[in-house]
Chain A
Amino acid sequence: MKQLEELVVAGFGGQGVLSLGMTLAYAGMIDGKAISWMPSYGPEMRGGTANCITILSDTRISSPIISKFDSAIILNQPSMDKFAERVKPGGLLLYESGNIFKPSTRTDIQLMGIPATTEATRLKNSKIMNMIMLGAYLQLRPVVKTEAVVEALKEVLPEKYHHLLELNREALELGKKLIQELELVG
């Protein structure tokens, strides 16, 4: 079956928004998919809100810029306010619950919040929060293989950070586990 996943990732600059989307894009390329990664650019990257659109497809991608999304990974409140209405009915909205005090009240989408910031602190590296979110997302939407993500991280992370690859892998697994536990609770 033809597969197409249109995802937006949004949050504050510095939360790893762009690298989350880029890692997924790399993984998609390794998996042999057509991909596009469209960042917001300019002053908003320096401390304001940042977002990127990542599209994975089995066929050629037309528009890299879209207004409705299959999935959204939301890391702060302003982005929740901006993007919640733009998730397609039946779509997924995954959010970082520690940064969001007022999640969307929509009932026609799958809404899931995980405390990725707190969990990142437990892994003793607050910057790993975005990979916990990515792991959680991939548990809900297995659009690429986990091995492809691990391969992708080698490309996205500068070589001087390659000692952190194992930590990133742990973070991905932790994200997956958090969703599994949520699903068990129901």
Chain B
Amino acid sequence: MNVTKLMKGNEALAEAAIRAGCDAYFGYPITPQSEVLEYLAREMPRHNRIVLQAESEVASINMVYGAAGAGFRAMTSSSSPGFSLMQEGISYLAGAELPCLLVNVNRAGPGLGTIQPGQGDYFQATKGGGHGDYRLIVLAPASVQEMADHVFLGFDLADQYRNPVVILSDGAIGQMMEKVTFKPYQKPTVDKSWATTGKPASRKRNAISSLFIQPERMEQHNLKLTEKFNRIRESEVRFEEVNTDDADYLLVAYGLSARIAQKAMDLARAKGLRVGLLRPITLFPFPEKRLRELATQVQGMLTVELNSGQMVEDVRLAVEGRVPLARYGRMGGMIFTPEEIERQLETLFEKAYAN
């Protein structure tokens, strides 16, 4: 039976974790995501699940390593400065191929920055904030509904690929309230015979490690991971298109920025400018192919992000110079208005039509 509620993004995410069969949550409070820990601290014990406020983010991520290694659905959540503290552990989780869900409710930085929303952690999430050669599956919710949906999807993808999944949200999506519908969910059956749950006489011991001292063995492991990341690139690209059919110009934006860009698109369309929107839902893998196709259709693209230009680099790689590409951003917790983006579009249109 479907259940519809009015919830904050952070609360919807927490509720979804319970419904997705999350066995254990480890976390440490930080604005603007503390509602996740608060909600789970209240609700998880009623479902006989583990919720633990660790002494730090470093502890949280290593507890996730332990729980995931024992075959449990485990997760943590934090916001930018706290998420940075977890990067060593995330590298180990990726190296040991442990499925888990990690949530970053992005605030503006660098450093302690501010508690207001930002998208400055795009590079960290998509390019690997920790050391070594790894990729995370990165989901970018743009609504309270997706804050919930991406939890189910994230856990499932993590199990399917034995890889950490990141939900990269932001302070606004975390704090705002919208309608959210929870549909019945069946946790897929996953073979976790690799988990370290105690050695029965019937099999050899299981060991979970990211340590491969011999270079030959390490490289074999790297090749295995690379093959996995390529499979993910092939099969898991997700994006949404709005009004791209007849678009002369394309906005590219994710998360909160995509919502504001959509309104800017409506304003531009009301003035007769044919603007479309492509919203990446997965930031890794990135919708490169579709962007490359659209590059032959539109006269220009404009990426809008709450940073100094990060995703724009992936768009640039995708379109390979086929189309003029501009970027616009605000930083420091300041947020662009739909009108602000629409003015950028008008300027670009003037230039495009002048040529």
Contact = CB atoms under 8 A, between A and B. Distances in A.
Interface string A45-88: 00000000000000001111111100000000000000000000
A142 B342 CA distance: 31
Interface string B321-355: 00000000000000101110000000000000000
Interface stretch (A22-30, A99-107, A126-134): A22-30
Contacts of A67: 337-339
A42 B116 contact: yes
Given A34-B179, A39-B176, A67-B338, A26 B6 contact: yes
Contacts of A35: 6, 177-179
Contacts of A68: 339
Given A36-B178, A42-B116, A29 B6 contact: yes
Interface residues of A, number: 21
Given A26-B6, A155-B6, A38 B337 contact: no
Interface of A: 22, 25-26, 29, 34-39, 41-42, 61-68, 155
A65 B172 contact: yes
Q: For this complex, into which size category does the number of interface residues on chain B fall?
A: 20 to 34
A42 B171 CA distance: 11
Contacts of A155: 6
Contacts of A26: 6
Nearest to B144: A36
Given A42-B31, A155-B6, A62 B262 contact: yes
Contact of B266 (A22, A41, A62): A62
Contacts of A61: 178
Contacts of B256: 64-65
Interface string B256-268: 1001101111100
Contacts, number: 67
B307 interface: no
Q: What are the 3 tightest A-B residue pairs by CB atom distance, in nearest-first order?
A: A63-B263, A62-B262, A67-B337
B262 A63 contact: yes
B177 A36 contact: yes
A37 B172 CA distance: 10
A42 B115 contact: yes
Interface string B300-322: 00000000000000000000000
B175 A39 contact: yes
A62 B32 contact: no
Contacts of A29: 4, 6, 179
A99 to B, nearest CB: 26
B6 A38 contact: no
A66 B176 contact: no
Contacts of A25: 6, 177
A65 B335 contact: yes
Contacts of B176: 36-39, 64
B6 A62 contact: no
Contacts of B179: 29, 34-35
Given A38-B172, A62-B266, 10 more contacts: A29-B4, A29-B179, A36-B178, A38-B175, A38-B176, A41-B171, A42-B31, A62-B259, A63-B338, A64-B172
B107 to A, nearest CB: 10
Interface string B1-26: 00010100000000000000000000
Interface in B55-97: none
Contacts of A39: 175-176
Contact of A37 (B32, B177, B263, B337): B177
- Central interface residue in B4, B31, B178, by most chain A CB within 10 Å: B178
A41 B259 CA distance: 19
8 contacts: A36-B177, A42-B116, A63-B262, A63-B338, A64-B256, A65-B256, A66-B263, A66-B338
A34 B177 CA distance: 11
B182 to A, nearest CB: 14
Contacts of A41: 31-32, 115, 171, 175
A57 B264 CA distance: 17
A15 to B, nearest CB: 19
A93 B263 CA distance: 23
Contacts of B32: 41-42
Contacts of B259: 62-65
A65 B115 contact: no
Given A66-B338, A67-B337, A37 B260 contact: no
A2 to B, nearest CB: 12
Contacts of A66: 263, 337-338
Contacts of A42: 31-32, 115-116
Nearest to B32: A41
A26 B6 CA distance: 7
